[in-house]
Amino acid sequence: MSEMIATRDAYGKTLLELGRENPRVVVLDADLSGSTKTGLFAKEFPDRFFNAGIAEANMVGMAAGLASGGMIPFASTFAVFAAGRAFEQIRQSLAYPKMNVKIVATHGGITVGEDGGSHQSVEDLAIMRALPNMTVLCPADGPETSAAIRAAAALQGPVYVRLGRAKVPVIFPGGCDFTVGRGATLREGSDLTFITTGLMSAMALDAARILEAEKISARVIHLGSIKPLDVELVLRAARETGAVVTAEEHSVIGGLGGAVCEALAEGFPVPVERVGLRDVFGQSGTGEELLAHYGLTPAHLVEAAERVLKRK
């Protein structure tokens, strides 16, 4: 059994390390520092932490101003408020001017759980991906989150990082090199390819093991960088395996599945099955119940693989 770490916890720790390494790193939050884990930074660096209160629009604007003044701001809140409520501030004050601000949105997807559909962002990747100049990252586990946060800090320009509330299995136990725009082949395979992001990548590995027993060879590619997309890796997988299943804790519209389909349609069309929320909002329940209810489990990935193989 893998170790379980919530990506938000890895974020909190990494942010604290960055704070110790670089005095230009500043952090903003909108009254959720306990949940987003920016509170760790706030405790050690109270002068470089700015609580905007429950005012996400102004938080993003302040972050832009801090970046304009030479700081490297990380601004955090839940994904539903970051990409939703503060969307136009992210567009005008960050993306349009290419401002060096990192929006790290926690509580993405349905594994937010009991708070229900109002708090479960299923559209943030699509929204952020549509913005010119925006880099969109969605790490799979704790170690990759640490690497992604460091990569975001090193990158000059706006970055949106989507993290989760729930503990998820570690799939990069030795840590990982994170390069923006590069995917990672987690497992080789020749009959089809799972192309996944966030917590679905661990599930794709489980699904590939189940398929192996059925003598089906599934490749698993994890894309921690949704934008820029590793188009070369995606097209190679399509050429070599001839079928693709995408999976994400997000709507099937406009996120990873959308991005992969765009790349394949233009570069090398093959049958695709998209696993994700089928154009619906979430609801209250435990994270595990919701993943099962909305079809985001290894068993569902196996079914999607069997469907796509029939279309080859």
Partner 1 sequence: MLTETTVRELEETALHLRVDILKMLNAAQSGHTGGSLSAIDAMTALYFHKMRHDPSNPRWEDRDRFILSKGHAAPALYACLARAGYFPSEDLKTLRRLGSHLQGHPDMNKTPGVEVCTGSLGQGISQAVGIALASRLAGKGARIYTLLGDGELQEGQVWEAAMAAAHYKLDNLCAILDQNGLQIDGEVAKVMNVGPVGPKFLAFNWHVLEVDGHDLQAICRALDDAEKTDGRPTLIIARTVKGKGVPFFEHKASYHGVPPSDDELGRALEHLGHS
Distance CA 169, CA 2 (A): 5
Exposure of 124 in the CB half-sphere (CA atoms within 13 A): 33
Smallest gap from residue 156 Cβ to partner 1 (A): 13
Smallest gap from residue 95 Cβ to partner 1 (A): 10
Contact characters 5-44, partner 1, x per CB under 8 A: ---------------------x------------------
Catalytic residue among 17, 21, 56, 306: 56
| CB within 8 Å of 6: residues ≥ 6 apart | 142, 163, 164, 165, 166, 167, 168
Is position 56 annotated as part of the catalytic site?
A: yes
Q: Are 136 and 163 in contact (CB under 8 A)?
A: no
Q: Which stretch binds partner 1 (CB under 8 A): 50-58, 122-130, 235-243, 244-252?
A: 50-58
| Residue written as token pair 């389909």 | 261
Strands (E), 9-100: 25-29, 49-51, 72-78
Distance CA 123, CA 21 (A): 34
Distance CA 253, CA 173 (A): 31
- Does 50 help bind partner 1 (rule: CB under 8 A)? yes
Site for partner 1 (CB under 8 A): which residue of 55, 130, 235, 292?
55
Distance CA 260, CA 287 (A): 26
Nearest to 13 by CA among 179, 180, 163: 163
Q: Which is nearer to partner 1, 57 or 261 (CB)?
A: 57
- Does 46 help bind partner 1 (rule: CB under 8 A)? no
Q: Which helix (H) or strand (E) holds 226?
A: strand 225-227
Site for partner 1 (CB under 8 A): which residue of 34, 53, 173, 228?
53
Q: Which stretch binds partner 1 (CB under 8 A): 88-96, 180-188, 204-212, 239-247?
A: 88-96
Neighbours of 43 (CB within 10 A): 11
User: Which residue type sits at 37?
Assistant: K
Smallest gap from residue 5 Cβ to partner 1 (A): 32
Distance CA 59, CA 52 (A): 5
Smallest gap from residue 7 Cβ to partner 1 (A): 27
Site for partner 1 (CB under 8 A): which residue of 19, 61, 189, 224?
61
Site for partner 1 (CB under 8 A): which residue of 66, 82, 136, 302?
66
User: Which residue type sits at 43?
Assistant: K
- Does 173 help bind partner 1 (rule: CB under 8 A)? no
Q: Which helix (H) or strand (E) holds 187?
A: strand 184-187
User: Which residue type sits at 309?
Assistant: L
- Does 47 help bind partner 1 (rule: CB under 8 A)? yes
- Does 84 help bind partner 1 (rule: CB under 8 A)? no
Q: Which stretch binds partner 1 (CB under 8 A): 60-68, 103-111, 113-121, 223-231?
A: 60-68
Residues 89-108 that bind partner 1 (CB under 8 A): 89, 92-93, 96-99
Site for partner 1 (CB under 8 A): which residue of 35, 68, 185, 284?
68
**Active-site residue list:** 56
User: Which residues of the chain form contacts with partner 1 (CB under 8 A)?
Assistant: 26, 47-48, 50, 52-53, 55, 57-58, 60-71, 73, 88-89, 92-93, 96-99
